[in-house]
Structure 1
Amino acid sequence: MELPKYHESFMPILETLKSEESLKSRELATIVRDNYYSDLPEELLTQKTSSGANVLLDRILWGKSYLKMGKFVSYPKRGLVQITDKGKKALEKGSLTLQDMQLDQDFINHRASVKTEKEDVIEVEKVEVESASPQDLIDSGFSTIEKEVKTELLEKLKELDPYYFEKVILILLKKMGYGDFIETSKSGDGGIDGIINEDKLGLEKIYTQAKRYNENKVREKDIRNFIGAMSGDTSKGVFITTSTFDDSAEKKAREAHHSIILIDGAKLVDLMHQYNVGVQVKTVYEVKELDNDFFEED
């Protein structure tokens, strides 16, 4: 006997949720374990990862995350999970495999919402375990986890109050090493959301504009208004959005006499992940190698 793979928990998770309005994530994983896998040997049920987490519960929680990517479940409130109409239809169908998930359009769109800078990264579900080196498997696993965190982060940003989103941007720029920042008035700011000092002494100023969009792209008009709102004391600006910029907006920024930096949703979560804004370290792994110098005789 062996532990189920994360994708083998798809149907048990949906079955568990179908009669519940919502469940806490940890409670859901425990119920699935007890109802579907209690016949496993004790040594499997208590098996731990190198960081001390229960392997089976961890895999069930990953199954839940993938179901969320495909919109088979949703998170109605913080920490809670509930089945969607799409999830109920999967139950009626009677099966949901990993291949089904990989071909699902919602899942594809979800994974595509955050681009990776590592174009040659192998997805963890596609990696050939027999032919991959241990380092390949580590890199693939870390890449998959990082991508999921960034995707969830982007979703969270799109749900924020617009004014709080503006503050998040200023906090990020501060963490990136810029100087003090000033939040502009929440009304009548003329398209300027914040002013940051490019250096610690405040010798140069940078204006910021933050647009929290779900689907709408930033247009040329938005960039034009931003440039028009910039006063004579600076020619530098950063325009940030949770969505993307259309071609005309990018062209306007490139051709402007001002220096305008555009940051779309994918780049934004890359920076937040890099500078630990809105995310935290969950686990630290140590990979050790033989210290040959230790065995050298003088």
Structure 2
Amino acid sequence: MPKSKSQQIAEKTIFAAFKILKNNGGEMRGKDVIDKIRETVTFDEYESHRLEKTGNIRWESILRFFTIDSMKAGFLRKNKGTWILTSEGENAIKLGPEKLLETATELYRQWNGNRKKEVIEEDIVEEDFTIENTNQAQEAILNSYEEDAFNGIRNFIINKNPYEFQDLVAELLRAMGYFISEVAQRGPDGGIDIIAFTDPLGTKQPRIIVQVKHRPNDNVSSDEVQKLAGTLKRNTDVGIFVTSGTFSKPAVKEARESREHIELIDFNRLTSLWQEYYSKMSDEQKNLLPLHPIYFLGSNE
């Protein structure tokens, strides 16, 4: 039986996504993976056609749909807009484009078990593509919306200058119930950007020393975590390192094994905390990173 055009597109885009993830340490933002595929894979007019009903590019829609198969197969994970290649996914690259997709689809069907299947024509890829499970289509769409939302938040934060980002961190700590004693002004800060306490006068322990780095496209190194540890002069001091980017694996190991208590907050954790404490913020605080919740029908799966 000849392959559908959508099957062919899925094979080459999923395989390309896996290779890109592997070559970049196994973890990238979904948007960056798609941008990289656009740069490195050639698409014909049919594949790059913008669909009238959704406004999406055909190959991108097909890729996003089949990432659900890959996730249920254990080859891929997604976390707040970030795509993560598992060790099983890395091994699956050896199968080649056709066998990789075939295996992921079969494992998805096994996961799906004996659930009732409904075959419908799917708007996102039109003529030659059918979906056996409407929940799969829904999940692909929700994943896409979630990625778009996090990309919007990330771009908003990227456009802040370092002092605006520092203020955002300080206001988050206030919303969490901490009392801010000091926020560094422009100029050398000695590795300390914010000092906070658990009471208004700072008479209770611990004293919280906060280092803030606004580097959305970089990893914080282990050396930088060590430097934060060096600013903790009191035995009861606690260090918090906040970045708009991520932490390198050595940095995470350094914080975990440090004699001092050092808490790491990367972009994903920062946005999660902002969402968690958003309802407790004043309007002025909310304006530093305004959010608007939208609810979609979910699934019990």
- In structure 2, the CA distance between the partners of 1:201 and 1:67, relative to structure 1 (3 Å rule), is closer
Checking the alignment, whether the CA contact within 8 Å between 2:48 and 2:58 is kept in structure 1 is: no
Unaligned 5+ segments in structure 2 are 1-29, 51-56, 65-77, 84-123, 279-285
Report how far residue 115 of structure 1 moved: 4.4
Structure 1 SS opposite 2:246: coil
Paired with 1:237 and 1:103, the residues of 2 have a C-alpha distance of 42
Report how far residue 243 of structure 1 moved: 1.5
Checking the alignment, whether the CA contact within 8 Å between 1:70 and 1:101 is kept in structure 2 is: no
Which amino acid is 1:249 matched to? A
Checking the alignment, whether the CA contact within 8 Å between 1:209 and 1:226 is kept in structure 2 is: yes
Which amino acid is 2:161 matched to? D
Q: Deviations over 1:41-98 (max 9, x none)?
A: xxxxxxxxxxxxxxxxxxxxxxxxx9999669xxxxxxxxxxxx99xx9999862433
Tell me what 1:238 maps to: 240
Tell me what 1:48 maps to: none
Checking the alignment, whether the CA contact within 8 Å between 1:184 and 1:194 is kept in structure 2 is: yes
Paired with 2:154 and 2:145, the residues of 1 have a C-alpha distance of 14
Paired with 1:90 and 1:282, the residues of 2 have a C-alpha distance of 38
Checking the alignment, whether the CA contact within 8 Å between 2:191 and 2:231 is kept in structure 1 is: yes
Tell me what 2:267 maps to: 265
Correspondence 1:53-132 to 2 at 5 A: 95-96=49-50, 97-100=57-60, 103=63, 114-115=81-82, 131-132=134-135
Checking the alignment, whether the CA contact within 8 Å between 2:219 and 2:246 is kept in structure 1 is: yes
Checking the alignment, whether the CA contact within 8 Å between 1:115 and 1:266 is kept in structure 2 is: no
Unaligned 5+ segments in structure 1 are 1-65, 73-84, 105-110, 117-124, 288-298
Checking the alignment, whether the CA contact within 8 Å between 1:172 and 1:275 is kept in structure 2 is: yes
Equivalent residue in structure 2 for 1:229, among 222, 228, 231: 231
Structure 2 SS opposite 1:214: coil
Checking the alignment, whether the CA contact within 8 Å between 1:273 and 1:279 is kept in structure 2 is: no
Report how far residue 144 of structure 1 moved: 5.0
Checking the alignment, whether the CA contact within 8 Å between 2:80 and 2:150 is kept in structure 1 is: no
Q: Does 1:206 align with 2:160?
A: no
Checking the alignment, whether the CA contact within 8 Å between 1:218 and 1:241 is kept in structure 2 is: yes
Report how far residue 226 of structure 1 moved: 1.1
Report how far residue 236 of structure 1 moved: 0.2
Paired with 1:280 and 1:173, the residues of 2 have a C-alpha distance of 17
Report how far residue 182 of structure 1 moved: 1.9
Identity of aligned residues (%): 22
Structure 2 SS opposite 1:269: helix
Which amino acid is 2:271 matched to? V
Which amino acid is 1:220 matched to? S
Report how far residue 161 of structure 1 moved: 0.5
- In structure 2, the CA distance between the partners of 1:68 and 1:166, relative to structure 1 (3 Å rule), is same
Paired with 1:286 and 1:113, the residues of 2 have a C-alpha distance of 18
- In structure 2, the CA distance between the partners of 1:286 and 1:151, relative to structure 1 (3 Å rule), is closer
Q: Deviations over 1:170-193 (max 9, x none)?
A: 111111222234202332211111
- In structure 2, the CA distance between the partners of 1:209 and 1:263, relative to structure 1 (3 Å rule), is same
Q: Deviations over 1:253-296 (max 9, x none)?
A: 11212100011112112222232351333557899xxxxxxxxx
Query: Alignment RMSD, CA only?
Result: 4.6
Report how far residue 223 of structure 1 moved: 0.7
Tell me what 2:186 maps to: 186
Paired with 1:162 and 1:102, the residues of 2 have a C-alpha distance of 39
Tell me what 1:12 maps to: none
Tell me what 2:149 maps to: 149
Aligned residues: 196
Structure 2 SS opposite 1:275: helix
Q: TM-score, normalised by structure 2?
A: 0.51
Tell me what 1:61 maps to: none
Tell me what 2:292 maps to: 281
